[in-house]
C-alpha cells in the first residue's frame, strides 16, 4: 500500500501521466468538435495512424518538427474532408463511413510506408521534440516536473483544449456549431450554412486527431510502428462521453485514464506484479474507464442531433 | 378595403409553387400593410405553409415575386428575408432544446467570425423587449425545461431581437392553453401598435375573428376569398375554407353503462421529462366519451401508457371490469378488449416499412385465423387488410404497399379500422386527429361516436380544447399529473377549463 502512495506522490509518475494524456487530449478534442456539430467520427483510429505516419515521415524526409506537425494536421484534414463529404451532404451512415475511413486510412498508411521505405526492417528514428522546461514554473516542487518539463507538443495539447472550450462556448461560431449538433433546422432557419459548419467541424476535428497521432511518433517516441495507436482513438470516443461533451471534463478524463495507465506500468514492478498476471494490469485502465464512464455519463446531455443527417426542407 | 393602415410592406404577386406534379400554390397574390394583421385561413394542405416558406425564402417560387418594403426579395434565401425584417414563428419551433434561451436567441445575430459573443448586451436587450411586449421568460433557462407557451415566446423574441417589421405566425395557438392564447393576442396587439405587421395563419375561426383586420382564404393552393374581418362571419369563413357547408357531428345523448376501467388513487413514476400521475382516480364507462385535456407533458403519456399496458401503477389500483389484473402488459391490455389509437402514429402506431397487411394485423398476428399452428396465414391477413381498406376508405396503392407511403389521414384510418373491427370494449384515442384535415378529422370523430353508441368506453386525449368539448360526455383536466373532477357535457366554458389546465382550478378547489 505504501508503495502505491510513493508512486502517486512522485513527480515522474505525474509527468508520465501528462505525457500519456497528451495525444488523447488532441484526439478527444477533435472528436468532441465533430460530435458537438452532430457528426460521430469513427474514423478517429485510422486518422491517428495517418497523422502518426505523416508527421514522422515529413520530419524523416528533412522537414522541421513544427512543419511536420502541420503536415500531420493537413493529412488528418484530408481524411476529414472525405468523411465530411460522405456524411454531411450525402448523409450516409456515420458508423459505416467512420469505420470505412479507419480501415482505409490504416491501409493507406501501410501502403505509403512500404512505398516510402521498401527495404527497411526497423523503422528509422527521427530527432523528436525535446522536453522544454518553462523558466520559473518548472522550478516549482512536484508540479514543476510533472507539468512544466514537457515537450512543446504537450503544452500545445493543453492550449488546444482551452482554445476549443473558448471557441465552442464563447463565440458565435461555437454557438452555431453546437446548435448544429442540437437542432440543425434552427441553424438553417437563421440562414446559416449547416452543411458548411458541420463539414468544417469534421475537417478541423480530424486534423486534431491526426496531430494526436503525430504526438506518438514525434514526441512520445521517435519512430513509427503500426500498432502504436493501439485503440487510443476508441478510448477518445469514450472520453468524450465521459466528459459529457465538455472540453474541460474531457481533458480531465484523458489525464485520469493516462494516470491509470501510468500506474499499472509501475504496479507491475511492485510485488503485486509477482502475484497477478501482467494482462490484469494491462486491462485495469480499461476496466476502470468503463466503471468511471458508467458513473459519470448517466446524466450526460447527448447532442440531440448527433448522427442525424440534415436535409433541407425535411422535418 | 384596407384604409387606416400605413404603406404596403409586403406584396406577394402571382406566386406559383409546384412540387413535382403537385401544385401547392397557384397564382397567389397577397398584400400586407403597416400595422395590419392579416389572417391566412385554410385547411391542411391548402398551401398556407408553402406560401409562408416562399415568403421567408425557404422555398423558391416557380413563378411570381415577393416584394418587401418595395424591394424585390431574392428567392430561396432565408438570410435575405431575415435581414429585410421578416420574422417567422414556425408551427414546429426551431429551437435547440439543450441550449439556453439566450443561446437560441443569439444564434445568427452576429457574424460567425466575430471573436466575442456579446451575450451581456443581448441579455439586456432581451429583457427589455420581454418587458415591453409582455413575453415573460428567463433568458438563462434551458429551453428543454420550458413549456410550449414559453418556447413560443422565445421564438417571438428571436424575431423581435432581429428587428423584425413583419411577423409571420404559423398556427401559433395550436399548442397553447386559452390563457396563453390571450397573452399571445395581447403581445400581438402591442406589436401592431408599434408599427409591426402580422400574418397570422390559422384554421381556428374564433381566433381569426378576434385578432385579424383582414382575412385571406386559401383553398387548394388558390386565394378563394378576401374580406375585411368585420364584414364577414365565422359560418361564411368556414364555408369558404372547405368549399361546402360542413356540419360537425352532433352527438346523441350518451347512455352511460357499467364502469369498464377504473383508476383508484393511482400514482406512476416520472419517466425522463414526462410527468407521472399523482393520485389519479377516474372511471371510464361504457357508452360514454371521457375527454382528457391538458397542456402536453402533464401526465397524458403516463395515463395513456397505463391504459395501454405500457405502465403500471406505483401506488393505487387499476381495475378492468371490476378486477385488478395480476399481469398488466400491452398484450394483456389487448386481450382485455382495449383498442388503442396511439399518439404517435409513425412511431408507435405503425411500422413504416411494413406493408398495410402486416400493419393491419399487428396486434392480432398470433391469433387464429392469422396464425395457424404457428404459421402466418397471409391470405387471411390480406383479406382482413382489404376489408379495413374498403370499409374505412383508406386511400392506398394496395395491401402490399409499405404504409409509410400513405398520408397521415389514411394511415390513421387504417389504425382506426384495425381498432374498430375488433369491436373493443374500451378505446384509447390519444390525439386521434392531430395533423388531419377537416375531412379525415370529421370521419374519425364520427367513427368514435359510433363506437360510443355501440357501447364502447372511450378515452379521448387531446390538446385541442374545442375537439374535446365537442365530443366528450365527461371532461377531466390533467395538470402536473393531477386530475380534475369529471365535468359533465356543457357545464364548463373553455376559459374555465383553461384555468384548470394552468393548475389554478386545483388551488381554488384545495
Residues B306 and B277 in one domain: yes
DSSP state at residue B346: I
Res A197 pLDDT > 80: yes
Residues B47 and B191 in one domain: yes
Q: Write b or e for each residue in B484-502: b if 16 or more Cβ atoms lie within 10 A of its Cβ, otherwise e.
A: bebbebeebebeebbbbbb
Q: Note whether residue B377 is domain-resident.
A: no
If pLDDT is split at 50, 70 and 90, which confidence band does B352 have? confident
For residue B325, give the CATH number of its domain. 3.40.50.300
**Could you report the per-residue pLDDT of A5-30, keeping only the tens digit for each?**
888 888 899 999 999 999 999 999 99
Res A299 pLDDT > 90: no
Cis peptide before B104 (omega within 30 of 0): no
- The 3 state secondary structure assigned to B416-466 is HHHHHCCCCCEEEEECCCCCCCHHHHHHHHHHHHHHHHHCCEEEEECCCHH
**Rg of chain A in Å (alpha carbons):** 20
Residues B268 and B211 in one domain: no
Residue ranges in B15-167 assigned as alpha helix (H)? 48-55, 78-83, 101-106, 119-133, 148-161
Look-up of cell digits 400574418 = B199
Of B94, B114, B115, which is closest to A185 when you measure between CB atoms? B94
* Residue A145: predicted pLDDT: 85
Residue ranges in B291-377 assigned as alpha helix (H)? 300-308, 330-335, 356-360
Spatial distance between the Cα atoms of B48 and A290, rounded to a whole number of angstroms: 52
- Residue A186 contacts B, CB cutoff 8 Å: yes
Residues B265 and B237 in one domain: no
* DSSP three-state, residue A62: coil
CB contact under 8 A, B96 and A190: no
* Residue B2: predicted pLDDT: 45
Residues B96 and B236 in one domain: yes
Q: Note whether residue B403 is domain-resident.
A: no
Residues B209 and B317 in one domain: no
The residue of B83, B107, B109 whose CB has the most chain A CBs within 10 angstroms, and thus the best one to mutate to test that interface, is B107
Which residues fall within 8 angstroms of residue A66, CB to CB, at 6 or more apart? none
Spatial distance between the Cα atoms of B451 and B339, rounded to a whole number of angstroms: 11
- Any idea which fold A2-297 has? ABC transporter involved in vitamin B12 uptake, BtuC (1.10.3470)
Provide the domain count of chain B: 2
The residue of B52, B75, B112, B435 whose CB has the most chain A CBs within 10 angstroms, and thus the best one to mutate to test that interface, is B112
pTM of the prediction? 0.78
Residues B225 and B316 in one domain: no
Cβ atoms B346, B405 nearer than 8 A = no
Q: Which residue has the higher pLDDT, B437 or A104?
A: A104
Residues B164 and B100 in one domain: yes
DSSP state at residue B329: S
Residues from chain B that touch A185, judged by Cβ atoms under 8 A, are 94
Distances (CA, A) of B221 to B45, B58, B65: 8, 18, 16
Cβ atoms B502, B479 nearer than 8 A = yes
**Could you report the per-residue pLDDT of B369-410, keeping only the tens digit for each?**
888 888 989 999 999 999 999 988 888 888 888 888 887 778
Residues from chain B that touch A192, judged by Cβ atoms under 8 A, are 107-108, 112
Nearest residue in A to B120, CA atom: A170
Structural domain harbouring B299: 259-337+424-509
Question: Which ipTM did the prediction report?
Answer: 0.86
* DSSP three-state, residue A126: coil
Cβ atoms A286, A258 nearer than 8 A = no
* Residue B216: predicted pLDDT: 92
Spatial distance between the Cα atoms of B323 and A2, rounded to a whole number of angstroms: 66
Final residue belonging to a domain, choices B181, B213, B242: B242
Nearest-Cα distance to chain B for A242, in Å, is 18
Residues B298 and B220 in one domain: no
* Residue B510: predicted pLDDT: 60
Highest mean predicted confidence (pLDDT) among A28-32, B92-96, B239-243, B248-252:
A28-32
**Could you report the per-residue pLDDT of B200-212, keeping only the tens digit for each?**
888 777 788 888 9
- Residue B203 contacts A, CB cutoff 8 Å: no
Amino acid at each position: 500500500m505504501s508503495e502505491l502512495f510513493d508512486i502517486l506522490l512522485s513527480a515522474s509518475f505525474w509527468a508520465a501521466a501528462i505525457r500519456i494524456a497528451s495525444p488523447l487530449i488532441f484526439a478527444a478534442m477533435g472528436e468532441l468538435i465533430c460530435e458537438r456539430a452532430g457528426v460521430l467520427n469513427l474514423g478517429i483510429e485510422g486518422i491517428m495512424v495517418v497523422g502518426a505516419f505523416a508527421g514522422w515521415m515529413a520530419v524523416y524526409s528533412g522537414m522541421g518538427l513544427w512543419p511536420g506537425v502541420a503536415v500531420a494536421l493537413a493529412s488528418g484534414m484530408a481524411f476529414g474532408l472525405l468523411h465530411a463529404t460522405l456524411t454531411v451532404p450525402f448523409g450516409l451512415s456515420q458508423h459505416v463511413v467512420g469505420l470505412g475511413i479507419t480501415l482505409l486510412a490504416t491501409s493507406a498508411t501501410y501502403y505509403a510506408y512500404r512505398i516510402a521505405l521498401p527495404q527497411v526492417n526497423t523503422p528509422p528514428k527521427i530527432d523528436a521534440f525535446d522536453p522544454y522546461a518553462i523558466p520559473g514554473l518548472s522550478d516549482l516542487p512536484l508540479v514543476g516536473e510533472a507539468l512544466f518539463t514537457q515537450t512543446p507538443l504537450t503544452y500545445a495539447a493543453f492550449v488546444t483544449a482551452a482554445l476549443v472550450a473558448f471557441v465552442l462556448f464563447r463565440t458565435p461560431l461555437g454557438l452555431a456549431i453546437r446548435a448544429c449538433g442540437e437542432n440543425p433546422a434552427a441553424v438553417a432557419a437563421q440562414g446559416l450554412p449547416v452543411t458548411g459548419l458541420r463539414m468544417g467541424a469534421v475537417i478541423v476535428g480530424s486534423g486534431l486527431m491526426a496531430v494526436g497521432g503525430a504526438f506518438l511518433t514525434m514526441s512520445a517516441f521517435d519512430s513509427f510502428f503500426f500498432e502504436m495507436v493501439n485503440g487510443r482513438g476508441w478510448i477518445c470516443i469514450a472520453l468524450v462521453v465521459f466528459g459529457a461533451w465538455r472540453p474541460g471534463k474531457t481533458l480531465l478524463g484523458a489525464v485520469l485514464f493516462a494516470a491509470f495507465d501510468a500506474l499499472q506500468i509501475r504496479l507491475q514492478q511492485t510485488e503485486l506484479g509477482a502475484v497477478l498476471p501482467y494482462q490484469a494490469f494491462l486491462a485495469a485502465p480499461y476496466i476502470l474507464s468503463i466503471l468511471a464512464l458508467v458513473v459519470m455519463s448517466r446524466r450526460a446531455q447527448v447532442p440531440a442531433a448527433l448522427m442525424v443527417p440534415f436535409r433541407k426542407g425535411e422535418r | 378595403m384596407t384604409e387606416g393602415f400605413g404603406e404596403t410592406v409586403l406584396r406577394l404577386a402571382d406566386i406559383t409553387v409546384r412540387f413535382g406534379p403537385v401544385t401547392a400554390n397557384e397564382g397567389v397574390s397577397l398584400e400586407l400593410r403597416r400595422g395590419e394583421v392579416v389572417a391566412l385561413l385554410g385547411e391542411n394542405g391548402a398551401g398556407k405553409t408553402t406560401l409562408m416558406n416562399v415568403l421567408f425564402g425557404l422555398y423558391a417560387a416557380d413563378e411570381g415575386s415577393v416584394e418587401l418594403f418595395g424591394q424585390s426579395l431574392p428567392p430561396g434565401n432565408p438570410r435575405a428575408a431575415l435581414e429585410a425584417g421578416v420574422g417567422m414563428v414556425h408551427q414546429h419551433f426551431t429551437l435547440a432544446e439543450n441550449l439556453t434561451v439566450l443561446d437560441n436567441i443569439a444564434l445568427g445575430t452576429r457574424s460567425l467570425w466575430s471573436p466575442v459573443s456579446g451575450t451581456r448586451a443581448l441579455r439586456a436587450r432581451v429583457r427589455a423587449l420581454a418587458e415591453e411586449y409582455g413575453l415573460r421568460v428567463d433568458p438563462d433557462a434551458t429551453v428543454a425545461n420550458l413549456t410550449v407557451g414559453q418556447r413560443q415566446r422565445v421564438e417571438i423574441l428571436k424575431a423581435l431581437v432581429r428587428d423584425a417589421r413583419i411577423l409571420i405566425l404559423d398556427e401559433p395557438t395550436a399548442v397553447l392553453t386559452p390563457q396563453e392564447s390571450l397573452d399571445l393576442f395581447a403581445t400581438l396587439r402591442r406589436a401592431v401598435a408599434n408599427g409591426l405587421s402580422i400574418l397570422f395563419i390559422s384554421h381556428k375561426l374564433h381566433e381569426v375573428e378576434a385578432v385579424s383586420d383582414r382575412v385571406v382564404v386559401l383553398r387548394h393552393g388558390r386565394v378563394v376569398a378576401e374580406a375585411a374581418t368585420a364584414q364577414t362571419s365565422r359560418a361564411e369563413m368556414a364555408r369558404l375554407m372547405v368549399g361546402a357547408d360542413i356540419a360537425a357531428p352532433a352527438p346523441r345523448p350518451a347512455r352511460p353503462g357499467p364502469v369498464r376501467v377504473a383508476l383508484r388513487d393511482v400514482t406512476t413514476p416520472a419517466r425522463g421529462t414526462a410527468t407521472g400521475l399523482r393520485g389519479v382516480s377516474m372511471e371510464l364507462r361504457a357508452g360514454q366519451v371521457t375527454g382528457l385535456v391538458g397542456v402536453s407533458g402533464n401526465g397524458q403519456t403516463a395515463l395513456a401508457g397505463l391504459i395501454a399496458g405500457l405502465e403500471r401503477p406505483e401506488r393505487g389500483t387499476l381495475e378492468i371490469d371490476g378486477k385488478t389484473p395480476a399481469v398488466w402488459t400491452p398484450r394483456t391490455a389487448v386481450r382485455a378488449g382495449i383498442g388503442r389509437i396511439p399518439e404517435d402514429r409513425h412511431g408507435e402506431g405503425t411500422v413504416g416499412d411494413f406493408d398495410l397487411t402486416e400493419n393491419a394485423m399487428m396486434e392480432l398476428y398470433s391469433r387464429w385465423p392469422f396464425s395457424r399452428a404457428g404459421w402466418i396465414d397471409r391470405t387471411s391477413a390480406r383479406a382482413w387488410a382489404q376489408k379495413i381498406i374498403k370499409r374505412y376508405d383508406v386511400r392506398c396503392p394496395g395491401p402490399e404497399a409499405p404504409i409509410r407511403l400513405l398520408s397521415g389521414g389514411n394511415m390513421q384510418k387504417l389504425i382506426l379500422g384495425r381498432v374498430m373491427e375488433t369491436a373493443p370494449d374500451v378505446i384509447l384515442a390519444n390525439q386521434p386527429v392531430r395533423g388531419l384535415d377537416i375531412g379525415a378529422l370529421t370521419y374519425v370523430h364520427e367513427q368514435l361516436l359510433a363506437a360510443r353508441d355501440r357501447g364502447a368506453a372511450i378515452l379521448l386525449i387531446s390538446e385541442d380544447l374545442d375537439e374535446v368539448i365537442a365530443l366528450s360526455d365527461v371532461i377531466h383536466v390533467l395538470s402536473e399529473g393531477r386530475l380534475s373532477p369529471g365535468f359533465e357535457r356543457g357545464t364548463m366554458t373553455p376559459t374555465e377549463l383553461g384555468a384548470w389546465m394552468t393548475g389554478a382550478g386545483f388551488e381554488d378547489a384545495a
